[in-house]
Amino acid sequence: MSTLPLLSLVVFTPFAGAAGLGLLRGASPAASRALALIFSLSTLALSLVLLGGFDPARTAPQFVERHAWIAALNVNYSLGLDGLSLLLVLLTGIVTPVALLASAKAERDSRLFGALFLMLQGAALGVFLALDFFPWFLFWELSLVPAFFLIKLWGGQGATRAAYQFVIYTIGGSAFMLAGFAALFVATGTMDFNTLAQLAADGSLAQKLAAFGGGNWTKVIFLGVLIGLAVKVPLWPFHTWLPPAYAEAPTGASMFLTGVMSKMGVYGFLRILWPIFPGPLHDASCWLLALALGGVVLGAWSAMRQTDLKRMVAYSSINHLSYCLLALFAVSYATGRAGPSSEAAAAALSGTLLQMFNHGLSAAALFACVGMLEARTGGKRGLHEFGGVRTAAPIFAGLCGVAMFSSLGLPGLNGFVGEFLIFRGVFGLNAWAAAIACLGLLATALFLLTFWQRVFHGPRAGATTGVFADVQPGEYLTLVPLVALMLVLGVAPHLLTRLINPLVTAWAGHLTLP
């Protein structure tokens, strides 16, 4: 343990980069891009340092930094890192530079683009590391600002509307979450996640909440926090902002949105909702399971109906993230019931964590692929506008194929491990839910294969008929790290599970209601 405030460094280095870019008026586009890339790589570098000092066996937050901040609200500047956070910091560290590279061709205002991107990165990291609601919410909301402008200023035709919808949905949810936390503060006098979780675990939170307005208000408060998080993931039916936002965003932003930002919601579920509201979550888990299944199945089926490739990938994101929630809700559903197998729960939870990481990689890679298609054909991305890409650009097709099959969950690739664990866990906890979710699997296979077949196979057709370059040197930098990781993690998932296993075991260890 060094005295260096490592976590603060992790969070604020990107912000420093953003500020630097903002101040460097005369920087050329190339220099701006380089600077942005260097600063974005800082996370990866620092997270390797963290990895070195990280002790997987300890489930409590490590590298904790805690300073008094606002006495009146009992707010502390408090950062900490456990396996879950580490996983997501790593993911951010990987996805951000890659996404920046994918946007290297963004034709104008590279300085502003880089600055916004770094802000986005910093905010996401803050969310993953903050242990007190106040700083957490600060970063949570702050992430919207760069995201809004990235979509709005560099996005496609419908970007204005999409960006607006995206931000309003999220802020709308956040407002209710804020109200919920205000209520928690009234009841407990703190907004510290761990303290609240402890209070929840020993049952005093429920009593305190019930004391100030009856049991119904507890439900309302839970609902407020739930909505805030559900919109962000998104949980079906709060998902309608997502397809337009992902589809209209520039490639790099789409990659980051799906790769990292969508994890912020799931993270919130795991870090906040589940530990602080175990009782209400359990009570609602039946309904929530239904919603998660809705996301799994309908997300996949909607993806099948899309002809716009970006929207298709976007819907697939809904589908994939719903697996994570499905597992969590199943665990919550089984909590306190007779005969819940903690082994199944552990499987489901570690599946969730892996799925978050893996989906980050595969979805980012898919968006990168679609972006490359767009770049080569002047913005075309219709399902029927391509054909025979495999013949024109075999390497490109190969790399895309890996990403696609990872997303599909082909054994041997990383996606398989997560989904398998989730299904295994959910079967043990709630077999019906798992059975229904299989429909989603089916549909996923269908639409991804359609994608594969229409675009990559057959004779060269549509936009592919002209000159169609294969992967350029710069693009390798985008795709290869992602694809390589998919392959590596597919065969060696323990690289990740090593980090999270003790945590997950601890979680699954006491699945009792207060």
Partner 1 sequence: MNALPWTIYLSFAGSALALVAGARSAANARWVALLTALAGGVVSLFAAREFTPGPGLQTIVNLPWIRELGIRYHLAADGISLTMVVLTGLAATAGILFSWNIKDRAGEFFALYLALIGGVYGVFLSADAFVLFVFYEIAIVPKYFLIAIWGSKNREYAAMKLVLYSFAGSAVMLGGLLWAYGAAGGRSFALNDLAAAAVNFSRGDQIGMFALVFFGFAVLAGMFPFHTWAPTGHAAAPTAASMLLAGVVMKLGAYGCLRVAMPLFPVGLAFWQPAIAWLAIAGILYAGLVALVQDDFKFVIGYSSVSHMGFVLLGLAAANSQSVAGAVLQMYSHGIIAGLLFAVVGRMVYERTHTRRLVDLRAMPLHRLLPFAALTFVIAGLASMGMPGFSGFPAELTILIGTWKTSPLWALFAASGILVAAAFTLRAIQVSFFGTTDKSVPASAVDHRPFEPITWAEKAGTVLLVAATVYIGLKPDALLNWITPALNSPLFQAALKGGTP
Binding site for partner 1 (CB under 8 A): 69-73, 107-108, 134, 137-138, 141-142, 145, 148, 152-154, 159-160, 163-164, 167-168, 171-172, 175-176, 178-179, 182-183, 185-186, 212-213, 217, 220, 224
Stretch (H or E) spanning 167: helix 159-188
Closest separation between CB of residue 217 and partner 1, Å?
Answer: 5
Closest separation between CB of residue 251 and partner 1, Å?
Answer: 15
Cα–Cα distances (Å) from 137 to 7, 140, 169, 280, 366, in that order, read 17, 5, 16, 22, 30
Question: DSSP code of 79?
Answer: E
Q: Which is nearer to partner 1, 164 or 420 (CB)?
A: 164
Closest separation between CB of residue 98 and partner 1, Å?
Answer: 24
CA atoms within 13 A on the CB side of 470: 10
Q: Which is nearer to partner 1, 250 or 490 (CB)?
A: 250
Closest separation between CB of residue 144 and partner 1, Å?
Answer: 8
Q: Which is nearer to partner 1, 148 or 456 (CB)?
A: 148
Polymer length of the chain:
514
Region label for 379, one of left (φ > 0), alpha (ψ between -120 and 50) or beta (otherwise): left
Q: Which is nearer to partner 1, 225 or 503 (CB)?
A: 225
Query: What's the 3-state SS for 54-78?
Result: CCCCCCCCEEEEEEEEEHHHCEEEE
Q: Which is nearer to partner 1, 44 or 138 (CB)?
A: 138
SS3 state at 280: helix
Closest separation between CB of residue 75 and partner 1, Å?
Answer: 9
Closest separation between CB of residue 168 and partner 1, Å?
Answer: 5
Q: Which is nearer to partner 1, 9 or 179 (CB)?
A: 179
Q: Which is nearer to partner 1, 231 or 366 (CB)?
A: 231
Q: Cis (ω within 30 of 0) for the bond into 29?
A: no
Q: Which is nearer to partner 1, 83 or 234 (CB)?
A: 234
Closest separation between CB of residue 208 and partner 1, Å?
Answer: 12
Question: In the structure, how many helices (H) and strands (E) does the chain have?
Answer: 23, 2
Stretch (H or E) spanning 188: helix 159-188
Torsion angle in degrees (nearest 10) through CA of 403, 407, 413, 416: 180
Closest separation between CB of residue 313 and partner 1, Å?
Answer: 23
- Interaxial angle between packed helices 309-334 and 414-429, expressed in degrees from 0 to 180 and rounded to the nearest 10: 40
Q: What one-letter code names the amino acid at 373?
A: L
Query: What's the 3-state SS for 394-416?
Result: HHHHHHHHHHHHHHHCCCCCHHH
Question: DSSP code of 118?
Answer: H
CA atoms within 13 A on the CB side of 60: 5
Q: Which is nearer to partner 1, 185 or 476 (CB)?
A: 185
Q: Which is nearer to partner 1, 378 or 459 (CB)?
A: 378
Closest separation between CB of residue 164 and partner 1, Å?
Answer: 6
Measured in degrees and rounded to the nearest 5, phi and psi for residue 181 equal -70, -30
Closest separation between CB of residue 238 and partner 1, Å?
Answer: 14
